[in-house]
Amino acid sequence: MRSFELPVGVHHLHEDVSLDFQLNRLVGLGGGRLEDVRKVAPRIRDLYDWKREFLALAEEALSEDRTQHAAAYLRAAEFFMAKGDPDKAAAYERQTKLFQEIYADDFATGRVRTEEVPYQGGHLPAWHLAVPDEVKSKGTIVVHGGFDSYAEELYALMRCIPEAGYDTLLFEGPGQGGVIRRQGIPFTTQWERPVAAVLDHFALSDVTLLGISLGGYLAPRAAAFEPRIQRVIAFDVCWDMLDAALSTRPPLLRLFLRTLLTLRADSLLDRLARRQMANDPLMRWGIEHGTYVMAVERPSKYLRRLGEFTTRHISSRITQDFLLLAGNADHYMPIEHFHRQARALRNVRSFTGRIFTAEESAHTHCQIGNLGLALRVMLDWVDERTESRARLGG
């Protein structure tokens, strides 16, 4: 069995379920140190506290020459800063600079090569992680994140893949990372367009596309329209973003919000959303970040855009091999969405589903408590699919 040096465990760090998840994400994926996070978690009551504590942690780590931790804490601090926060751009640029220092050897030795993929008058940053010389290449896996990910955050996980024999292309698309922060290119539901730009640039075909978080919508969407994708991994399920966003609200409020959207009562919807945002800092961040990365100005427009991020109407077009992952206690994505997505994939070449549990420390969104297990499941599946096609002659 493959072994990866990745953290294992879901820790109770905060009473708020969303903040608790983000703190675990910082430890399990983002490069943070558990003892540091435990120290500051009790002092975090709102997003202002979050920013203050993680900026301070970053300075503390830098003073102790813990560059990796400092970069992680700068990313964490920037994560919840609003678009207009004067500290946002500085924190982002500092963490990218530190990242380059941490992995300087990877860039100097050619383990990773960065390229700019032309796209809509700008470019998409793409990082090519090549299979080591002593390892036989078995194909290419193209990877992208979701609603709020950074390529720098994902790199430590992605650099494990070439050791398993797969060239890896990690790219940031519209609405993500530096593409939105430096170039202002917002999200698109038509994810086949940035994927096609990447495949064209690197002259690729017969690839596996791995989409993370909101990538559970984006990657299937691209696969529905891009035949060069032969295998698609939804890590995790993302059946319907609007439905998922409303799922934590009381049933009557959900019905009322949907009715307002249907009636296009945007002014009333904006007032209601802003009232909710005033009492719910995480809801405020979600809508503020969403309007930023989707280039809309009002909560009502953002909620309407969310409704476009659904695989309901394109699942039947997907004909590739499909791997669908989910955590059985994902507080973002209801588990019934896994089953709805599975039923809708009626024309795929093959379907594999995997629901992770608390016993595996992998029950949360994107298996943050046990990413090594999730990665093993994905790579074993790609091995099986590519070997099966080879036996069948294509």
Instruction: For residue range 299-329, list pLDDT tens digits in order.
Output: 999 999 999 999 999 999 999 999 999 999 9
Give the residue, 103 or 135, on which the prediction is more confident. 103
What percent of the chain is predicted at pLDDT more than 90? 87
At 394 the pLDDT is: 56
CA–CA gap between residue 123 and residue 297 (Å, rounded): 24
Does the structure show a pLDDT above 70 at 393? no
* Domains of the chain from N-terminus onward: 17-101 (1.20.1440.110), 108-240+309-392 (3.40.50.1820), 242-306 (no CATH)
At 248 the pLDDT is: 84
**Mean pLDDT across the chain, nearest whole number?**
94
- Average pLDDT in the 356-379 region? 97
Indicate the residue type of 355.
Answer: I
Instruction: For residue range 236-258, list pLDDT tens digits in order.
Output: 999 999 999 999 888 888 899 99
Place of tokens 């970069």: 71
Split at pLDDT 50, 70, 90, the class of 168 is very high
The string of DSSP codes covering 198-257 is HHHHTT--SEEEEEETTHHHHHHHHHHH-TTEEEEEEES--SBHHHHHHTTS-HHHHHHH
Does the structure show a pLDDT above 60 at 71? yes
- Average pLDDT in the 170-180 region? 97
* pTM of structure: 0.94
Neighbours of 372 (CB within 10 A): 20
- Average pLDDT in the 163-177 region? 96
CA–CA gap between residue 9 and residue 31 (Å, rounded): 14
At 3 the pLDDT is: 56
Does the structure show a pLDDT above 60 at 110? yes
Instruction: For residue range 83-97, list pLDDT tens digits in order.
Output: 889 999 999 999 999
- Average pLDDT in the 154-158 region? 93
Split at pLDDT 50, 70, 90, the class of 1 is very low
For residue 64 the two structure tokens come to: 């102790």
In which order are the strands placed within the sheet that holds 350-356? 112-119, 122-129, 166-171, 139-144, 207-212, 229-235, 321-327, 350-356
Measure the CA dihedral 372/373/375/381, to 10°: 160
